Amino acid sequence: MTTEAFDAVDIIRTKRDKGTLSAAQIDWTIDAYTRGAIAEEQMAALNMAILLNGMDRAEISRWTAAMVASGERMDFSALRTPDGRVKATADKHSTGGVGDKITLPLAPLVAVFGVAVPQLSGRGLGHTGGTLDKLEAIPGWRAVLSTAEMMSQLQDVGAVVCAAGSKLAPADRKLYALRDVTGTVESIPLIASSIMSKKIAEGTGALVLDVKVGSGAFMKDAASARELAETMVALGTGAGVRTVALLTDMQTPLGLTAGNAIEVEESVEVLAGGGPPDVVELTVRLAEEMLEAAGVRGATGMSRADPAAALRDGRAMDVWNRMIAAQGGDPRAKLPVARESETVYAQADGVLVELDARAVGVAAWRLGAGRARKEDAVQAGAGVRLHAKPGDAVRRGQPLMTLLTDTPERFGRAKEALEGAAVIAAGGDLPSRPLILDRIG
């Protein structure tokens, strides 16, 4: 019988009583939980104590490092530029939102400039969409790659979007599942360490964080979002990853689509030099930040490193086509279309002054675009297509959005979610709300 270095109950009591865990206690806790020496109910109690009493920066840093150490770390030093130098790597992480398809145009756009983009992504749960679910709407595309396939694609194409391997931060996978069912997801120390353990283990040299703020985001207020962003930037920087965060608005959905295939369609429009202005703005700004963090000058420098130009002239589209094809997809194939649709109309004349992001996300989820449990299937064609955004003048009877699904019995609950989501005022100027609220790093 193995003698353990600590007792789980003592660890729980320390945080329950607002104490500070030592480095050795944290290392043991993560290791013991990963190998099953700490029971689920004990870790649930510790998570709740952390949620209620917090952690200081040193504790969060050590907790994150212990989760990284629970598995493997990726190494991209074998990637080379045409002249033999080690390729710079950069990644982006979004805390999740509605209509957030930014990864799709962003990864190939950054790769245009010789920076390798190893984008490890996930699936949607609840009202926020998942990047892998969107891409799986493309016929033939596959999310699961071996390390060798990933490295080959990064060398040849420059960008890959795929599922994270099971050996990266396995402690986080186990902890996240527990937090999800014990009401402890909202803890900033646990959120920050969860995100950053995976990104540090991923091995990228630079990381840009898109921390969403608003009704459709995990963080509803700017103060909480800022605290999370500052914590994650400190964790990344402390681990040797050049890290910066943008606080971005998620009060209104991004773009004009929330779903899977329809978000791919909109992303391709952006790559073709068009698309909704907000999606283009955020894609370009995040690309500039990633290039700057990777040591490549952005749009204010040399014209060859101008992301906006690379969207307009087709270079980003070329990389997209190669990236999708490398993972078995057909970038020119027809995307799935929902069998049924129903339109929601404006109930008055005026200006659309509010369109609640969370309500739209919940409606898309109920239509089949998202899942309530990780094992649920999603409909590729389901979602919500918007016909107006805040600031637009509308007339009574004008289409505001189209609901899409293969199963029409879902329309009723989707429309329930949208009750009160669209606010129309008689007129006047709508106060501007910037898309990018702040930069931290």
The whole-number average pLDDT for the span 32-47 is 95
The whole-number average pLDDT for the span 183-199 is 92
What CATH number is given to the structural domain containing 130? Answer: 3.40.1030.10
CA proximity to 235, closest of 172, 289, 187, 193: 193
- Position 300 pLDDT exceeds 60: no
CB-count burial class (<10 Å; 0-12, 13-18, 19+) for 254: buried
pLDDT, residue 297, reads 65
Number of other CB atoms surrounding residue 340 within 10 Å: 16
What CATH number is given to the structural domain containing 379? Answer: 3.90.1170.30
The whole-number average pLDDT for the span 224-252 is 96
User: Within this chain, do residues 102 and 236 fall inside the same structural domain, yes or no?
Assistant: yes
pLDDT, residue 386, reads 98
- Position 385 pLDDT exceeds 80: yes
The whole-number average pLDDT for the span 194-211 is 95
User: Within this chain, do residues 402 and 293 fall inside the same structural domain, yes or no?
Assistant: no
Determine phi and psi for 302, rounding to 5 degrees: -65, 140
- Position 301 pLDDT exceeds 80: no
Q: Has residue 377 been placed in a domain? A: yes
User: Within this chain, do residues 202 and 259 fall inside the same structural domain, yes or no?
Assistant: yes
pLDDT, residue 296, reads 86
The secondary element (H helix, E strand) that includes residue 354 is strand 350-355
User: Within this chain, do residues 264 and 172 fall inside the same structural domain, yes or no?
Assistant: yes
Q: Has residue 403 been placed in a domain? A: yes
The whole-number average pLDDT for the span 167-182 is 88
Please state, for a pLDDT cut of 70, what percent of the chain lies above it.
Answer: 96
Distance CA(171)–CA(114), nearest Å, equals 33
Give 50's pLDDT tier (boundaries 50, 70, 90): very high
Radius of gyration of the chain (CA): 22
User: Within this chain, do residues 312 and 346 fall inside the same structural domain, yes or no?
Assistant: no
Q: Is 373 a catalytic residue?
A: no
Q: Is 194 a catalytic residue?
A: yes
Of the listed 62, 87, 92, 198, which one is catalytic?
198
Q: Is 179 a catalytic residue?
A: yes
Distance CA(240)–CA(256), nearest Å, equals 38
Distance CA(322)–CA(372), nearest Å, equals 33
Give 1's pLDDT tier (boundaries 50, 70, 90): low
Structurally, how many domains does the chain consist of? 3
Q: Which domain holds residue 414?
A: 340-425
Q: Is 93 a catalytic residue?
A: yes
**Six-digit token string for 145:** 């790659």
Characterise 417 by phi-psi region: left (phi > 0), alpha (psi -120 to 50), beta (else).
Answer: alpha
**Six-digit token string for 275:** 């698309």
Of the listed 172, 210, 278, 306, which one is catalytic?
172
Of the listed 15, 93, 385, 410, which one is catalytic?
93
- Position 420 pLDDT exceeds 50: yes
pTM of the model: 0.93
| pLDDT, tens digit (0-9, with 9 covering 90-100), for 307-366 | 999 999 999 999 999 999 999 999 999 999 999 999 999 999 999 999 999 999 999 999
Give 299's pLDDT tier (boundaries 50, 70, 90): very low
| pLDDT, tens digit (0-9, with 9 covering 90-100), for 81-124 | 988 899 999 999 999 899 999 999 999 999 999 999 999 988 77
pLDDT, residue 431, reads 67
User: Within this chain, do residues 241 and 372 fall inside the same structural domain, yes or no?
Assistant: no
Q: Are 145 and 72 in contact (CB under 8 A)?
A: no
Axis crossing angle, helix 40-53 with helix 170-181, rounded to the nearest 10: 80
Select the more confidently predicted residue: 343 or 3.
343
Average pLDDT, the chain: 93
What CATH number is given to the structural domain containing 48? Answer: 1.20.970.10
User: Within this chain, do residues 124 and 234 fall inside the same structural domain, yes or no?
Assistant: yes
Q: Has residue 29 been placed in a domain? A: yes
- Position 302 pLDDT exceeds 60: no
User: Within this chain, do residues 371 and 307 fall inside the same structural domain, yes or no?
Assistant: no
Give 65's pLDDT tier (boundaries 50, 70, 90): very high
Using CA atoms in the order 101, 103, 104, 107, what is the torsion angle rounded to 10 degrees? 160
- Position 298 pLDDT exceeds 70: no
Determine phi and psi for 415, rounding to 5 degrees: -70, -30
Of the listed 87, 123, 179, 242, which one is catalytic?
179
Distance CA(54)–CA(47), nearest Å, equals 10
- Position 413 pLDDT exceeds 50: yes
pLDDT, residue 37, reads 94
The whole-number average pLDDT for the span 174-201 is 90
- Position 251 pLDDT exceeds 60: yes
> First-to-last CA distance in the chain?
48
User: Within this chain, do residues 297 and 218 fall inside the same structural domain, yes or no?
Assistant: yes
Number of other CB atoms surrounding residue 224 within 10 Å: 17
Q: How many residues does the chain have?
A: 441
Distance CA(251)–CA(435), nearest Å, equals 10
Of the listed 61, 70, 187, 194, which one is catalytic?
194
User: Within this chain, do residues 303 and 378 fall inside the same structural domain, yes or no?
Assistant: no
User: Within this chain, do residues 366 and 314 fall inside the same structural domain, yes or no?
Assistant: no
Q: Is 387 a catalytic residue?
A: no
